[in-house]
Structure 1
Amino acid sequence: MGSVDIALNVIIVGAGFGGLAAAIECRERGMNVVIIERYSDSNSAGDIIDFFPNGGKIVKRWEGGNVGKELHEIGADKIDVMELRKFDGTLISNIPWAINQEHRDTTYAGHRGNLHGCFFRCVQRLGATIVLGQSVKEYMEKDDAAGVRLADGQEFWGDLVVAADGGRSIARQQVLGLGDEKEGSGWAIFRTFFDSTEKQRSHPDLKEFMRTEKDNVRVWMSDHLSMLAYSWNNAEQVAWVLMHPDDNDIPESWSLGAAKEDMLPWIKEFTSPEAQALFEITPVGRTIDFKLVYRPPLEKWTSKNGRIILIGDAAHCNLPTAGQGGSQAIEDALTLAYCLQHCNRDVPLATEITQRIRYHRSNEVHKSGKLTRDSFHKVSWDEIMQDPKRWGQKRFPHLRPHDALETVSSQFEVIKQEIESGKNGSLDEVAMPLPPGGIFMTGDH
């Protein structure tokens, strides 16, 4: 990809998918990278995550395609359709998983921990400095540098700090002067992942879901609940999630366990033998209850001097129902790294161009998560059954084809000239507009 004449020093806070993607993109452009993560090892938790072509195109370029190949090898790469079913198992519609071969080649899905490990190993191979088990307590900025102070007192300084530390990022408060603005959605999601045994795979009601010649995705819907399940890698890996009312106002956490008896009031509404069998084989102690919290989009992603920028969930905390959290973070990472590469060491210019390119697109995706969440729970069966295929496409819209590298390479000079000519204002006013027709191929998003 080429490199800058004098390598920029980039500090990345957070080794989630966005932080790791930023590290990869910056290292492949010759920058020096330090990535700081509060956890002591690569993330092995979580259930399923998807990266769709807008993010997958970026991943496919890494290390000459080797990262993408590994993701396909360890993930779910044999999905043909998403089966949309009524709560009793009645098939409503088959939603194509990929619209063409390129779409399939650049779509990745699998266990969050396994895919995360693939990103992490790429960062290691590219030679970034990785600091694990250390929390950032303070973001700091000077006119010509930015840094962080860790809990143990260590300080790291560089040309830029990238805050990629999630929706509860302390950078929102310290860098942007914001509180943790959020609203309870009234919903939560039971989430689980497990490696299946031969006995579990041979359950008589799971013959179709546990087919080994393909990877499988099911969605069951009731009037106010939804359940999504995957099986892949010869049905040896299984994950499912169930969105339900947050009637107990649970705390926001990635580790809040859910007892099987607590799930029964919601599971029993899915009378499909397949859904019931899937719940039956789920091991005890492998399910969490994840609170859905909506955080509104930010009006600005950068610090006063432009040497700290928030990306990924720290900047736009997508609900899982958008299906785009990981892919949007990767788009941020690519855009930022390209701008840094071409900014002639003017880091504030690079971060300003980045947020102007990404702002409206990321916010439109962000908004779609809320709309999609609500659409699952306002089901009109009469409307659905009149045209099941059309409704399914509306409920699961594809993003229009988008190449973040092509976008930033074509817009960098345009936006640079706008900034240099004095085009100022809020991001809502000066950011790159959405394309005609919006960003979704179908649906009312």
Structure 2
Amino acid sequence: MPVPASAPRAVVIGGGIGGLTAAAALHHDGWAVTVLERAAALEPVGAGIALAPNAQRALDTFGAGDAVRALSAWQSDGGLRLPGGRWLSRTDGEAAAARFGGPVALVHRADLAALLAARLPDGSVRTGAPAALADPGGAGRPARVTTPGGDLEAELVVAADGIHSATRAVLFPGHPAPRYTGATVWRFVVPAPGAPFTPHETWGRGRIWGTVPLPGGRVYVYAQANAPRRAASPGGEHAQLRRLFGDWHHPVPDLLDTVDPAAILRNDVHAMTAPLPAHHRGRVAVVGDAAHAMPPNIGQGGCQAVEDAVVLAHVLAGCGDDVTAALEEYTRLRLPRTTAVVRRAERVARLTRLSSPAACALRAVAVTTADRLGPRTVLRSLDGVADWCPPTRPPRSTPVA
């Protein structure tokens, strides 16, 4: 249902998961939303995303949680392995669901993007639409965004333009940019192999490989390796993956045989080692990787973007004309939490990047010992993260469709 002409205006820069979630949550609360995405299409990314229970509860706040669960696969039992196949630890899916309020939902990013975009009125999302922040606005004036089609003014701008956010650089020009962590990642989606396998993450010397199910008989694969920044892969990314992982346990070789080399995505991993001084300035809120880029090693990058989006909508609900005060509350709620999650992800990432034989042997002993102490010991690493619940507010009597 279209929003009234008198509705407050929001412009979202970036049509990734964080930007689309913010747009859907704001629209649900009565905002007139425009999403500006530089790319020609929304999330044409051949990769999966794991939505932990904290992100699912966030999506529930505007009615999208059940729809996401319906198109997902579920992370159940699995575990951590060595390249030769030996299990270091096993994941108890039931114990994790009981501890955190549900299982992890595994979704194809393109499916999630389409679901979120479908919750917006026609014409709300503009692809092939680069945008730049011209004025962050303030208590007495709207924010202004420049586009090739002309300037847009709004009571709110959401900066969801990713790790290398140009908007963040405008708002905080002296702040250090995300740094390269020393690792690069590859991702792809392929049909499930014929022989069955148990979902797993495998840790080698400075390398990891993950294989997890997606709906429709598909498998999401991610791999990581220590590498210089922007390092070339002689013979292409497929050849590089074969060199790094081709002799690892089943189903790794089968998956490498199946994948179309053109479908392999590669990205260097960057992280915000220095937290921003705030997650807003003027009438602009910064969400997701633009605010707190983190290593992917605890599966919380996308989840924290979803959290950002719904907390932003929460503080803006009923704020009237005082958007700037609401954004101060947004920073108060999000900055400490995301800083803590980034630091936790960095600690795990440092473990995955260990490469000396002695350090990797000690790591294996530590993981095996923790596993023998029971699932609670392993799951404790996500306490305070996956069990997060969104802020509560009085139920809406007439929600915006």
TM-score range, shorter chain: 0.7 to 0.9
Pick from 358, 369, 382: which aligns with 2:365?
Answer: 382
Find out whether 1:286 has 2:263 as its counterpart: yes
* Aligned counterpart, 1:418: none
More divergent stretch after superposition (343-352 vs 68-77): 68-77
Secondary structure of 2:77 counterpart: strand
Superposed counterparts of 1:205-216, under 5 Å: 207-209=195-197, 216=198
CA gap of 1:344–1:48, structure 2 versus 1, over 3 A, is same
Q: Which amino acid aligns with 1:45?
A: V
1:109 to 106, 123, 126: 106
What is the deviation of 1:84? Answer: 1.6
Deviations 1:375-434 (A, max 9, x none): 12343233333443459854882233221223xx59xxxxxxxxxxxxxxxxxxxxxxxx
Single out whichever of 392-401 and 274-283 deviates more from structure 2. Answer: 392-401
Deviation at 1:222, TM superposition (A): 1.9
Alpha-carbon distance in 2 for matches of 1:153, 1:249: 34
**Correspondence for 1:75 among 72, 76, 90:** 72
Please report how far the alpha carbon of residue 308 of structure 1 lies from its aligned counterpart in structure 2 after TM superposition.
1.4
Deviations 1:304-324 (A, max 9, x none): xx2112111111112212311
Does 2:250 match 1:267? no
Assess if the C-alpha contact under 8 Å between 1:191 and 1:289 holds in 2.
yes
What are structure 1's unaligned runs of at least 5 residues? 210-215, 411-445
1:181 aligns with 2:177: yes
5+ residue gaps, structure 2, are: 355-359, 395-401
| Equivalence for 2:391 | 405
Contact 1:94-1:389 at 8 Å conserved across structures: no
Identity fraction in percent: 20
Cα shift readout 1:187-241 (whole Å, capped 9, x = no counterpart) = 1112211245xxxx33xxxx222xxxxxx5211222332111112335x211211
Cα offset, 1:180, TM superposition: 5.8
Partner of 1:430: none
> Could you tell me how far apart the structure 1 residues matched to 2:98 and 2:371 are?
25
Work out whether residues 47 and 192 of structure 1, in 8 Å CA contact, stay in contact via their aligned partners in 2: yes
Report the residue type matching 1:384 in the other structure.
V
Judged with a 3 Å threshold, the aligned counterparts in structure 2 of structure 1 residues 283 and 129 are, in CA distance, closer, same or farther, namely closer
User: How far does the alpha carbon of each residue in 1:86-110 deviate from its partner, in whole angstroms, 9 at most, with x for none?
Assistant: 2111122221345236956573212
The code of the aligned residue for 1:220 comes to T
Tell me which amino acid in the other structure corresponds to 2:323.
V
The residue identity in structure 2 corresponding to 1:149 is T
Which residue is equivalent to 1:308? 284
Query: 2:90 aligned with 1:94, yes or no?
Result: yes
Alignment partner of 2:81 out of 85, 108, 130: 85
In the other structure, the counterpart of 2:212 is 230
1:7 and 2:1 matched: no
Residues 31/186 of structure 1: CA separation in 2 closer, same or farther (3 Å cut) = same
Which region of structure 1 is more displaced relative to structure 2, 324-333 or 115-124? 115-124
Counterpart code for 2:261: V
Q: Does 1:136 align with 2:127?
A: no
Note if contact 1:32-1:128 (Cα within 8 Å) is conserved in structure 2. Answer: no
- 2:48 and 2:27 mapped to 1: Cα distance? 27
Q: Distance in 1 between matches of 2:288 and 2:68?
A: 20
Q: Distance in 1 between matches of 2:142 and 2:349?
A: 41
Contact 1:46–1:193 (8 Å) recurs in 2: yes
Superposed CA RMSD: 2.9
Asked if 1:321 is matched to 2:294, the reply is no
Give the Cα separation in 2 of the matches to 1:338 and 1:4.
20
TM-score, structure 2 as length reference: 0.85
The count of residues paired between Structure 1 and Structure 2 equals 377
Change (3 A) 1:123 1:106: farther
Q: Distance in 2 between matches of 1:185 and 1:9?
A: 38
Shift of 1:57: 0.5
Higher relative contact order (CA 8 A, sep 6+): 2
